[in-house]
Amino acid sequence: MKKAAQKFKGVYAFVLTPTKDDGGSIDEDGLCRFIDLQIESGVDGITVFGSTGGIGSFSEDERKRVIEVAAEHINGRVGLVAGVGSIQTPESIRLAEFAEDAGADGALVVPITYWPLTDNEIYGHFEAIAKSVSIPVGIYNNPGTTGVDIKPALIARIADIDNVGFVKESSGDMSRITAIRQHTGGSISILNGWDASTPQAIAAGVDGWFAGSCSIMPAQCVELFNLGYRQRDMDRMRAYVEPMYPICEFMGAKGYIRVAHSACEILRHPMGPPRRPLRMLEAADRVHLEGLLAKLTAASSPAKHAVANWPGEVSNAVRPRL
């Protein structure tokens, strides 16, 4: 395995980007509190500006500021990966260079595009970004959101670039994990990105999990991964995921970002809404989510981590124990 790949293992929280003023501005204090909750819950790393973080909803300057705030606040406590995907290669390069200078441990690149891209165009995009920095660069394959499917053969071609060190595979096709490992010869870390299929991904041999559902249930995500990956207790892992699965499935169906922002409000530590035109869940979906959270609470073991740093009284009827 490449040196660039070796640090990317475990659970990386895909954090939402807290907002104020109906999504009009970024809540930096809220971001720091949210990062602290994730770290207290035991995650191995933080990712800003994944899909759950609203990568396409913020300007280049706003994204740089969030990367800077996150890097300063984390201060080496866990790893930091910055999402640097953009519709333009030069912007992705600028973001990757900024992330490196700010102290990020890796740059995650999702191809954002209006026009269908050829394999050579995708390769050239990654090549230019990877050559601009020395930190590890990750491939983010999320065809359901981007419409761009980076298949295992192309991932292997991109993985030959020196500092490309990891891939977040979010197609939901678990056979891709084996295919990527075989095509790359195990040279890069493979992290799952389809939360509802995490047990299957662990069984298939992933090295980690970029988890959007950490924004709702971080300690449960950490425990699930520990059971399957570190303890290799597949029976307990299968039992443990049962109350988590409906929430993961709901996030996939309704949009990770809508569900994450809505769940934080339900759990009474509001992080503001996504930026328009995205909105919180509609009334019926919110009621359904409240029911899922209540079931998770009923099934959860006693709290491992305090959440006293969150403002407001929290109803135990809907709050998962974190």
3-state helix, strand, coil split of the chain in percent (to 5) is: 50, 15, 40
Contact criterion met (CB below 8 Å) for 42 and 219:
yes
Indicate the pairing of strand 45-48 with strand 137-141.
unpaired
The answer to whether 260 touches 252, Cβ cutoff 8 Å, is: no
Task: Say if residue 228 is exposed, middle or buried (CB neighbours under 10 Å; 0-12, 13-18, 19+).
Answer: buried
Instruction: Let me know how long the chain is.
Output: 322
Query: In 3D, which of 296, 12, 2 has the Cα closest to residue 170?
Result: 12
For residue 3, give the nearest of 130, 163, 155, 181 by alpha carbon: 163
Nearest to 196 by CA among 148, 136, 249: 249
Helix axes 245-254, 283-299, angle to 10 degrees: 160
Q: Active-site residues: which are they?
A: 140, 168
State both tokens at 168: 């977040």
CA dihedral 213, 140, 160, 197 (to 10 degrees): 40
Question: What is the rounded CA–CA span in Å between residue 175 and residue 201?
Answer: 9
CA trace torsion 176, 2, 104, 311 (10° rounding): 50
Type of residue found at 168: K
Joined together, the tokens standing for residue 277 give: 């035109």
Q: Does residue 155 contact residue 180 with C-beta atoms inside 8 Å?
A: yes
